[in-house]
Amino acid sequence: MKKNSGLNELIYEYYESRILFGVYRYGEQLLSVPKICASFRLGRNTIQMALDKLEKNGYIETEERKVARVVYQGTEETFRENAIKYFVPRREGMLDINRQGPLLFSPVWERGLRNFERSIS
């Protein structure tokens, strides 16, 4: 179970942020567990642990053999507030990526382009 703890946490945060920002709204259904597994290429137990935590924290509700449904009830104002609470503490990191991104990503991009050009030649 320890092996999956980081992955299920990522899945949890993926859905939590989308619920808190209003991407998924009250009453909407999430994808089925097999579809979530396929889209993230992860096992059922990893996905189920994330969904269990979402349910425990009041974001979704699940019934046996049915897809999860969003039960978090936010307003446009709370969605904006949630986004601010999420992004403001990350401001410095996001600015750092903006400043250092070319150093990190440009070499990878250029190499990928060279490999692509070679493969079509």
Q: Residue 109: what pLDDT?
A: 75
**CA-CA-CA-CA torsion sign (12, 18, 21, 26):** negative
Query: Residue 3: pLDDT above 90?
Result: no
Q: Report the mean per-residue pLDDT for the chain.
A: 86
Q: Over 50: is that where the pLDDT of 10 sits? A: yes
pLDDT tens per residue across span 83-105: 888 877 777 776 776 677 677 67
pTM of the model: 0.70
Strands (E), the chain: 60-61, 69-70
Confidence of residue 15 (pLDDT cuts 50, 70, 90): very high
